[in-house]
Structure 1
């Protein structure tokens, strides 16, 4: 017998709904007949029928106004992983999330779906077909990951069948797609500056890249399957395209699709990692005297030169997840959505100049989360 759906089950709120993932999620929820309210620090678009509320994530009273008569909340607000402000990460990802939980419980919200990250288990070494039972990273790769670990723990521990408040965490990895303000625009900018000529390592390391529509699909499936008698309660789930691809092959396909040359010269991973470690140590020694924010770090080298892909078996078993858009189609759609980023005629960089630029900065701005 089908479970009876509560009258308010399609009234939802998307916290962080003005962001890249949030906007795609909002649009899909509307298509599926949900009544949607968005809470974010700013409003960047309009969707007919969607109400927007601007406010601070740590303001519980502002949240309570939005969550009145809402049964389902998606929490996907977070500073960009490229940010270097630890206090901001802690305020939004940890303190803000605690406030969200309190507001949800006071407002009678029944389900909270968190956008977490697969990087919560990544420490800079190979992960192949990683499952959700991997331990949290003891040495998180950055402030973003450190606070996402705290955030996920807080959300999953708040799950309570007795209080009729159920939670689940979705762990996507390498989200990309149309309107992405990070991966593709930064990749193109890096190529235009002559920094994408070199491959770190032998180029065979496999990584998960996940099309944004598949991430949205995973979130909605989690919301629809999260019930008191389901295995989702208080659990984390990897959501990817389930098609690991060589890191540098993915980058090359995007670059070639937009008219740029693919990286072709190899640099030994151990050499690049060693240089990055040396630069990081020098930065630490100089920090009392000079405030330096390095972009060429050991962990960013690790992201570009190690295997890190994850199993979706649990999501397939517990909520019937299957990617709705295959990887090659996703790449083609993404490239087609950025006609304004296609290659223009640029001044020629000599080989030696390009090497100097690339070696010091290769892949320094791009972060695969």
Structure 2
């Protein structure tokens, strides 16, 4: 019996493949016939067709075996935005990405697809149907955004059409879906503590939330369309559900779906933002003496009270992107995947 060797073009590596987006990406790649190497600081699952490499992103020697003979690399490793740890963000998003680029170049990797973030252009003011040519935020609102800007610049500047490494950045916004460790669990925890009664602002602000399967679809399309002559080289692309929704309507749909009451009392946006700034400054001043993390950071308040939604026209034009799963379907699949977080669940 002869074993069929998988063509090398169907081999890829996913850096950060143990994370929320990373694992969804790995599963979809397997479905599409790829064999996948996963590099991550931890291994959180086992799947046939996946080889795990455990190690630190900043350690090039640990990274090399995972990227050897791999033509395509997805880089979606990042600390959680809420961790607020500047040194960690700097180490993973900036130093780690430098190491990834070096390793890719040395090992002859052909394509690198980065998971960036739409927040790289967000400064707390309204963005309506934002396109990719909005300049980077001059005053990023948190360390996560600050280091994601640096990371995206590094990856896009590394693009070399003359037979070298080709790069592209995907900027998703408001990723949610089954197994999400952030959005839904934090929302439910806040509701259980009785802190989801209030709407910040007038509640009319529109925001993009993007189902994880659509984000994965955008990554794979980008990888498959990335060629020396394609417009994707060295460019960022917004990937969203392409159906902006009122921020508080989305939150209410998830909460009500899980059996919690929807928020209904309004608080003036500027008042809450001012309080968040005060608490943030206080936390900064007291940091040597007392460690406390305010629930409402200026960034979170801004995200909850302003318009921020983005245009997918470039992704539609250059890689034929369109969302596979609607927002309504995405919300219902997400809610169904959290039976243990339902109101009254044991």
Alignment partner, residue 361 of structure 1: none
Residue of structure 2 equivalent to 1:170:
170
Look up the match of 1:308: 308
**Change in 2 beyond 3 A, CA 1:345/1:31:** closer
Find the aligned partners of 2:253 and 2:289 in 1 and give their Cα distance: 43
1:1-369 to 2 correspondence within 5 Å? Answer: 7-287=7-287, 289-344=289-344
Q: Where does structure 1 lack aligned partners over 5 or more consecutive residues?
A: 1-5, 347-369
- Which moved further from structure 2: 182-191 or 214-223? 182-191
**How far has the Cα of 1:291 moved from its partner?**
4.2
CA contact (8 A) 2:339 2:345 kept: no
Q: CA deviation at 1:290?
A: 4.1
> What SS is found at the alignment partner of 2:324?
coil
Partner of 1:353: none
Q: What SS class does the counterpart of residue 164 from structure 1 fall into?
A: coil
- With the length of structure 2 as denominator, give the TM-score of the two structures: 0.96
Deviation at 1:64, TM superposition (A): 1.1
Post-superposition offset of 1:289: 4.8
For 2:291 and 2:343, the matched residues in 1 are separated by 35
Instruction: Report deviation, 1:117.
Output: 0.2
Give per-residue Cα distances to partners, 1:12-34, cap 9 Å, x unaligned. Answer: 00000000000000000000001
CA offset digits 1:290-327 (Å, max 9, x no partner)? 44433322221111000000000000000000000011
Q: Secondary structure at the match of 2:65?
A: helix
Q: Which runs of 5+ in 2 are unaligned?
A: 1-5
Please provide the CA RMSD for this pair: 1.5
Say which is worse superposed, 265-274 or 322-331, in terms of deviation: 265-274
Structure 1 position 85, deviation (Å): 1.2
SS at match of 1:221: helix
Pairwise CA distance, 1:68: 1.1
1:291/1:194 CA distance change after superposition, 3 Å? closer
Instruction: Return 294-303 or 243-252, whichever deviates more.
Output: 294-303
Q: Say if 1:188 and 1:7 are closer, same or farther in 2 by CA, change over 3 A.
A: same
Provide the rounded CA distance (Å) in 1 between the counterparts of 2:45 and 2:299. Answer: 34
Q: Give the Å deviation of 1:234.
A: 0.1
- Could you report, residue by residue, the CA deviation over 1:45-70 in whole angstroms, capped at 9, with x for unpaired residues? 11111101100101111111111110
Separation (CA, whole Å) in 2 of partners of 1:297 and 1:26: 33
Secondary structure (helix, strand or coil) at the match of 1:9 reads helix
Hey, what's the Cα distance between the residues in 2 that align with 1:72 and 1:150? 22
Of the structure 1 ranges 146-155 and 297-306, higher mean CA displacement relative to structure 2 is found in: 297-306
Deviations 1:41-99 (A, max 9, x none): 01001111110110010111111111111000000000000112111110000000000
Q: Is the 8 A contact 2:207 2:244 kept in 1?
A: yes
Report if the CA contact (8 A) 2:60-2:99 is conserved.
yes
CA distance in 2, matches of 1:172, 1:59: 27
With normalisation by structure 1, the TM-score equals: 0.90
Query: How far off its partner does 1:286 sit?
Result: 3.8
The number of residue pairs the alignment matches comes to 341
